[in-house]
Structure 1
Amino acid sequence: MDLFQDLFDPYERKARIYPALIIILPTLVATYCLFPYLRDFLSAALSSIFFLGITYFLGKFSRQVGKRKQDTLITKWRGMPSERFLRHSDSTVDEHTKKRYHQYLSVHVPNLVIPTPQEESADPAAADTIYRSSVKWLLNKTRDTQKYKLLYQDNISYGFTRNLWAMKPLGLTLNSAVFFGSVFLMYKKYNFEVKAVPPEVWLSFAVTIIITFFLVFLTEETVHSKAKAYARTLLEVCDE
């Protein structure tokens, strides 16, 4: 079943399910801490239902949102970093290293001819098609996650960051609702008497605030940084 495969697959779990769990963590903690009479029910639900059906749904939702947001990012970045770094016009990778990459790809990728700087300048779209094909070939070559462990880890790191950033608006909305809902309940039940507030309520506040700050400082540039790290590791395969 896809469900159990996803739960035990490191990429699915870390890059897709974990971001979704982080987004809803403050809601779960607040529900558990602020409504004691629901704790037995939540414990049973978490152990029997949540990590199966709901977790599977969250992972798929995380992937879909991340993919949609990625399309927007690619436009802003002027292409995926792995393709962009192969352009003669891009200076991220030094010219000598890039020359080695081009030579390697020209030799190993069937029917591939790397464009010259003049050809790239005359028809950037056609050149990008060639670079995109080169990257696709590299991705197919590096599917062995044991042989290319570092690349696999960078891919997971990028996927996690992208998906979490993509769900940032949802996370901030949920966290705001949890925060103000907790404040209201604190007023109704304890009349803002600090000493009367039990530790679990403060725990709920702490988790909400920590996750909120984490999301606030997670930016598009963070995602771009992870994408560039993954691109560098992928292209370094050409230096094997």
Structure 2
Amino acid sequence: MVGISKHFDAYTVRARVVPALMAGLPTLAFLFLIIPWDHFSVSQAISATMAIILLVAFADLARNLGKKAERKLGTRATPEFWFRDDGTIDSVSKDRYRSFVASKLDVKAPSAEDEIADPAYAKQFYLSAGNWLRDQTRDHKKFRILADELFTYGFRRNLFGLKPVALSLNAIVLGLCLIAMTLPLPVELPALQSSGRLVTAIVAVILHSAFMIFAVNKEGVREASRAYGIQLILSCETLMASTTGTTRGQAKSGRSKQQP
């Protein structure tokens, strides 16, 4: 159980498993439709086991295709929010965050002149700042708002990555339903001989395809990426407060030791 739970943590469930379920919902429903469930046998047990295995594999596929979509769209890393000419985050806060991160990286932060004269260097610094912040904010309980934005971004990115696969599977399910309604089948499957169930499956496939085509898009992924990028920078506030608290605690401890 412990080994399985490691593969289904909060991020995996919300950002990988749920998109996999949403993308493959009509296909999974069709598979369960054609399997007789009026009695339990070895075939049902095998089918349930295979469904779990396929779900894990599909969740991994969601991650891989989501990563490809991320590279194509250029999302998740948002160094542009750090630049002084970007007004997404107020300049006073960004000046404080920039100095804080630079002290942690032990690298000089780009000045306003550097951002104009050498924007490539400034971008590299801000990318490094983002990497450092991601490493420092892995505690999802402490950085709950940031974690929620990360989960939302992962969900939208992976679902968008699965979009071609989902539409292809929907086309296969739709074709099979139409064949079952018009041609005699060589196998005895009561579910496929019920026109009412097949019509329901066809309607579900059409609605699901419409959702994938119109609701799952690049702009949704970019919007979630921007929200996550903003919250990642704002997480400096919590890190700075933690650092200040630790420093004060160490100073008090030092003074206590010096007292006779």
TM-score normalised by length of structure 1: 0.82
SS of the aligned residue for 1:85 comes to helix
Matches within 5 A, 1:1-240: 4-33=4-33, 35-37=34-36, 43-51=44-52, 53-74=53-74, 80-81=77-78, 83-107=79-103, 109-188=104-183, 198-217=195-214, 218-240=216-238
Identity of paired residues, percent? 28
2:77 and 2:130 in contact (8 A); partners too: no
Task: Identify the residue that residue 192 of structure 1 maps to in structure 2.
Answer: none
SS of the aligned residue for 1:143 comes to coil
Deviations 1:105-143 (A, max 9, x none): 234x23132211221222222111110111111111111
> Which of these two proteins has the greater Rg computed from alpha carbons?
2
Task: Identify the residue that residue 242 of structure 2 maps to in structure 1.
Answer: none
CA distance in 1, matches of 2:133, 2:100: 11
Residue type at the aligned position of 1:105: V
Residue type at the aligned position of 1:44: A
1:6 and 1:13 in contact (8 A); partners too: no
Mean CA deviation greater in 210-219 or 224-233 = 210-219
Deviations 1:78-129 (A, max 9, x none): x822x2211224333343343333233234x231322112212222221111
Structure 2 gap segments, 5+ residues each? 185-192, 239-260
Structure 1 residue 66 displacement after superposition:
1.1
CA distance in 1, matches of 2:3, 2:54: 10
SS of the aligned residue for 2:105 comes to coil
Check 1:3–1:171 CA distance in 2 against 1; reply closer, same or farther (3 A cut): farther
Number of aligned residue pairs:
227
Structure 1 residue 46 displacement after superposition:
4.6
CA distance in 2, matches of 1:212, 1:3: 35
Considering only aligned residues, what root-mean-square deviation do their CA atoms show, in Å? 2.7
2:153 and 2:221 in contact (8 A); partners too: yes
Structure 1 residue 42 displacement after superposition:
6.8
Deviations 1:129-171 (A, max 9, x none): 1101111111111111111112112111111110110111111
TM-score normalised by length of structure 2: 0.76
